[in-house]
Amino acid sequence: MLGNMMAKPLLISDLIEHAERSNPKSEIVSRRCEGDIHRYTMHDAANRSRKLANALTKLGAKSSDRIATLAWNNYRHFELYFGVSGIGSVLHTINPRLFPEQLVYIINHAEDRWIFVDLTFVPLLESIKDQIPNVEGFVIMTDEATMPTTSLDNVICYETLIQDESNQFEWPEFDENTAASLCYTSGTTGNPKGVLYSHRSTLIHAMSEVSREALGISSVTCMLPVVPMFHVNAWGVPYAAAMTGAKLVFPGPGMDGASLWELIDSEQPDLLLGVPTVWLMLLNHMDDIGKTLDSVESVVVGGSAAPLSMIKKFDQVHNAFLIHAWGMTEMSPIGTSNAKTAAMENMPLEERYKLQQKQGKPVFGVEMKIVDDNGQPQPHDGIAFGRLLVRGPWIIKQYYKSDDMSNFEDGWLDTGDVATIDENNYLGIVDRSKDVIKSGGEWISSIDLENAAVGHDDIVEACVIGVAHEKWDERPILLAIRKPGSAVSGKDVQNFLADKIAKFWMPDEVLFVENLPHTATGKLLKIDLRKEYHDYLMNK
């Protein structure tokens, strides 16, 4: 027997309508590419999203058409989130940090009809325009006064496009499983893979993430998402803001410590969201100017593991709680959150910090398990580790236009991570399965080693890779970037690590480098380093 409840579809357009009705005065503040700070309200955003929907319809945008953006976090990008998906088209948020050949690949693979582009990225599109012949035109996200001269064909100015349109628009109703947005993973090998989110998955992900047990977003929240809107929809927080009426502060192109602090100082956000690298820059800047982040209550950190030194610094210097979260593009992205619990309030501090290093508990809707190489489930004791598999209503079941099902097993997604799960269901990411170091049959976590190494005051960034070893098959070596002017030696770093790691984890070598390579989403790119250093210990 089926229930008697209405099957009203969950649609992204409902979010912006709800926001306008319930929280019309909620503010959206953006640093613009044009250089100034722009502010308006949810009511304005809703009006302009409907104008945009009218303009897109006139341009001929139809259901399922892919409309792309190449843009920072700002209010026009926010309007596109609702205007494009709201009419049934698919918003393809392009990551400008991808290599040009990857950009060409994804624009052609997605069959983007139009690209909405911020001023910053116009030259990037000009450099690849001959390789993306099927794009019909480009909308530059600015006003007539700041329109650049460009070699792009069929160019429209965003403000001109929408200015004469009506702010009335009847959003269409359609199946909630309709595609809403598309995001490509940065991919360390091969071509990027597309993840196609639906209206339903987007809305229930947002419903779950606003909860106190996930990110704790509400009408009294003022949040600063530094995580880009081109990376898994800024972790879904633009939708969460429309759902709750939270104030949004968009940093635009200003992601350096000084620019972020300027916005934090003027807008007083209590919730920040971003990857560890960004917070490292902000924390260093705060050290330099000798000020503290007084308005900030929580900092959500995901994308890579949060080092212990960062958890402590936010707590001890800035009185801010670091919410460690884990997820993937394939998971919309939230899988787990390490929100503060009652138990944490009463825990000895060092014990709490240790717990905060874990990636947290699954948010409602996400199921996880760890299995060995034969697919056998491993115990949830915080010690045994295995391949992490997940499933849930906002997790992909296959990649866009791909029949490669190698990451999927009986309805579960293989995350490519190796992890532990403890008796309280806390997830501990040990490593990416391709990065974990197998030394004499024992596993060594490159992530844990890197995080221990950056605890040293003179180390800016650390990267651990496994290299060939005659006796142990593989041994870890540590590549590190020193603080400018520091004379710290490899031996000093090994001494520093000695009481922080198991003895057999000690990197055989510590080598100092000038730079480390990163993926388009800011993660260490180890594939080339592994090749370069493969025989390093063998040849010594």
**Binding-site ranges for ligand ADP (CB under 6 A):** 185-186, 302-305, 324-329, 333, 359, 415-417, 429, 432, 519, 521, 523
Tokens of 314: 């936010």
12-22 helix and 237-244 helix, angle to the nearest 10 degrees: 40
- Given 443, 500, 509, 523, the catalytic residue: 443
387 versus 456: smaller Cβ distance to ligand ADP: 387
Closer residue to ligand ADP in complex, CB, 146/191:
191
Q: In sequence order, what are the beta bridge partners of 197?
A: 181
Least distance to ligand ADP, CB of residue 415, Å: 5
Structure tokens at 494: 């090994």
160 is catalytic: no
Residue 501 CB, nearest distance to ligand ADP (Å)? 17
Cα separation values, 466 from 12, 395, 540, Å: 45, 31, 16
In 3D space, the residue among 158, 191, 144, 146 whose CA is nearest the CA of residue 76 turns out to be 158
Closest CB 362 distance from ligand ADP, rounded Å: 13
Indicate the residue among 30 and 521 with the shorter CB distance to ligand ADP. 521
Clarify whether 165 is annotated catalytic.
Answer: no
Report d(CA 522, CA 520) in Å as an integer: 6
Local structure of residue 498 (DSSP, 8 states): T
CB of 184 to ligand ADP, least distance (A): 8
The position carrying tokens 């490669």 is 404
Which residue's CB is nearer to ligand ADP, number 217 or number 390?
A: 390
Q: Which of 93, 142, 178, 185 is catalytic?
A: 185
Give whichever of 413 and 480 is closer to ligand ADP, judged by the CB atom. 413
Provide the minimum distance between the beta carbon of 338 and ligand ADP in the complex, in angstroms, as a whole number.
9
Determine phi and psi for 293, rounding to 5 degrees: -90, 75
The number of residues in the chain equals: 540
Q: Of 326 and 400, which CB lies nearer to ligand ADP in the complex structure?
A: 326
CB of 367 to ligand ADP, least distance (A): 16
Closest approach, Cβ 538 to ligand ADP, in A, equals 29
Q: Please state the closest distance from residue 402 (CB atom) to ligand ADP, in A.
A: 15
CB half-sphere exposure, 39, CA atoms < 13 A: 11
Residue 249 CB, shortest distance to ligand ADP, in Å, is 22
Rounded to an integer, what distance in angstroms lies between the CA atom of residue 304 and that of residue 523? 7
Q: Which residues pair with 195 in a beta bridge?
A: 183
- The burial of 539, by beta-carbon neighbours within 10 Å (0-12 exposed, 13-18 middle, 19 or more buried), is given as exposed
Give SS3 for 80.
Answer: helix
Task: Choose between 180 and 395: whose C-beta lies nearer to ligand ADP.
Answer: 395
The backbone region for 323, taken as left when phi is positive above 0, alpha when psi lies in -120 to 50, beta otherwise, is beta
Q: Are 114 and 156 in contact (CB under 8 A)?
A: no
Q: Which amino acid is at 290?
A: G
Pick the closer one to ligand ADP by CB: 200 or 231: 231
Distance of CA 317 to the CA centre of its chain: 25
Taking the C-alpha atoms of residue 475 and residue 438, their distance in angstroms, rounded to an integer, is 7
- Name which of 497, 331, 503, 531 is nearest 417 in CA terms: 331
Least distance to ligand ADP, CB of residue 398, Å: 16
Using the minimum distance from each CB to ligand ADP, give the nearer residue, 16 or 395: 395
Q: Is 461 a catalytic residue?
A: no
Q: For the stretch 470-486, what's the b/e string if a residue is b when 16 or more beta carbons lie within 10 angstroms of its beta carbon?
A: eebebbbbbbbbbeeee
Phi/psi at 255 (5° precision): -105, 5
Considering 79, 176, 330, 450, which one is annotated as catalytic? 330
330 is catalytic: yes
Half-sphere exposure of 520 (CA within 13 A, CB side): 24
DSSP per-residue letters across 272-301: EEE-HHHHHHHHHHHHHHT---TT--EEEE
Q: Which residues contact 322 (CB under 8 A, 6 or more apart)?
A: 298, 299, 301, 306, 310, 311, 314, 315, 356
Active site residues: 185, 330, 438, 443
